[in-house]
Structures are given as C-alpha cells and as structure tokens.
Amino acid sequence: LETVRVSKASADQRAGRAGRTQPGVAIRLWRAEQTAALPAFTPPEILEADLSGLLLDCAAFGVADPSALAFLDPPPVPALNEARGLLRALDAIDETGRLTEAGAAMRKLALPVRLAHMVAEAAGSGHAFEAAMFAVLLTERGLGGLGADLERRLMRFRGERSPRATAAKQLAERLARQAGGAKGSEAAAGGPLLVHAWPDRVAKARGERGRFV
C-alpha cells in the first residue's frame, strides 16, 4: 500500500466516525495549517488510472468506444487513446476496437493487461507458470527482495517458505492453469517472457554496453 495524503472531505468523513454512536473527539496527527492545504476532494480514480483494463472489459461487452457510455466522470480522451494504443500493440483488440482471441485469453487472467498478455503468450510455448511467477513478483511488492533484477528475485522467491510466499506461488499456479499452462514447465529466461508485457520498450543495442537506440 502507498501512503498518501487524504482530501479534506475524506478527513472530515473519518472524523465523523467518532460521533456515530456518541459524541467523541477526532485527533489528527498533523498541524491545522496542513488541513487547509489538503485538496477539497479525492479525484475520481477514472481520471488518473490506467484505462487499459476498462477498455478490455468494454470490448468484451461489445462497446468499442467507451466514450459513448454515460460515465459519472468521463474518462480523459488522452488516457483512452493511450489505453487503446496499448491494447492494439498487445493484439487484444482489432482496429475497430473489438476483442480479439488474444484479448479474450488475457481477460481470463486477474492481472494488469501487460502481465496478462505475457502469461497468455507464454502458455503457447509451455512457459505459463514461469511467466505467472514473474507476474506475481511484479504485482506483490517485496517477494524475493526489492532488487531490480527479476531473475535473481525469482530465484530467492522460489526458496521462500513464508505463508505470503506460499500463497503467491499458489496464485501463480492458478494463473498458469487459467492460461492453459501447468506448473513445472521448463524454465525460461525472464527477458523473452517480459518482452511480451512491454514490447514497446524494446531497444536496439548501439554496440557499446549500456547504449541503446
């Protein structure tokens, strides 16, 4: 979880909980001047969130253009365009905005669209479980450590025996099965799997180590 400042409306609502059964006192652990600097309301999530999952769901229900729906807070057009471009790059929707076979496979997985695409694609080569393990590492902070090297984190994660790690491995098994794969598939390198999640971030080496186009 990420710690963020609340809005004035949220702070007032939480203070009101102290008086639900009888008069009480709400103690805020910050200065009164800081309250004045808080935003009046928490912005609707749809105005700030990644909309690729929303577009994928809309496509599944036959809605090619979500802007035609009556939202309480219409999603920003730039965010919709960005999400549409991502889904097209992942072959989740066609040029008309309709769901593709790949998109339907992605939607079966309770993952962000990039990671869902990685696991679904990996299932075709027998590496669904390995991809699902990477997906779990990327969605569950701290498993296998906090390093940027995912393959090292995966090695440590495989050896962890905590209840949280066990539950995460079971989740990876379920995701692999849902994608049509199985536990125990032959190990695969992380790079070829992760490229299915971020095809737009592949760079070409310029010859010198650490330099890319």
Question: 174 and 124 in one domain?
Answer: yes
Amino acid identity at 68: A
Instruction: Work out how many domains the chain is built from and give that number.
Output: 2
Number of Cβ atoms within 10 Å of the Cβ of 117: 27
Question: 197 and 145 in one domain?
Answer: yes
Q: Could you list the residue range(s) of the whole structural domain that residue 197 is in?
A: 112-201
Residue 59 in any domain: the answer is yes
Long-range CB contact pairs, 145-152, < 8 A, 24+: 150/190, 150/194, 151/189, 151/190
Describe the chain by its helix, strand, coil percentages, rounded to 5.
Answer: 50, 0, 45
Question: 120 and 196 in one domain?
Answer: yes
CA–CA dist 184, 103 (Å, integer): 25
Amino acid identity at 165: A
**Is the per-residue pLDDT at 212 higher than 70?**
no
Residue 210 in any domain: the answer is no
Whole-number average pLDDT of the chain: 88
Question: 100 and 61 in one domain?
Answer: yes
Specify the pTM: 0.81
Single residue among 70, 104, 138 that ends a domain in this structure: 104
Residue 69 in any domain: the answer is yes
Question: 81 and 157 in one domain?
Answer: no
Residues 132-177 have pLDDT tens digits of 999 999 998 899 998 888 889 999 999 999 999 999 999 999 999 9
Residues 13-60 have pLDDT tens digits of 888 776 677 777 888 888 888 888 899 998 899 999 999 999 999 999
Question: 169 and 148 in one domain?
Answer: yes
Residue 187 in any domain: the answer is yes
Question: 191 and 123 in one domain?
Answer: yes
Residues 88-140 have pLDDT tens digits of 999 999 999 999 999 999 999 999 999 999 999 999 888 999 999 999 999 98
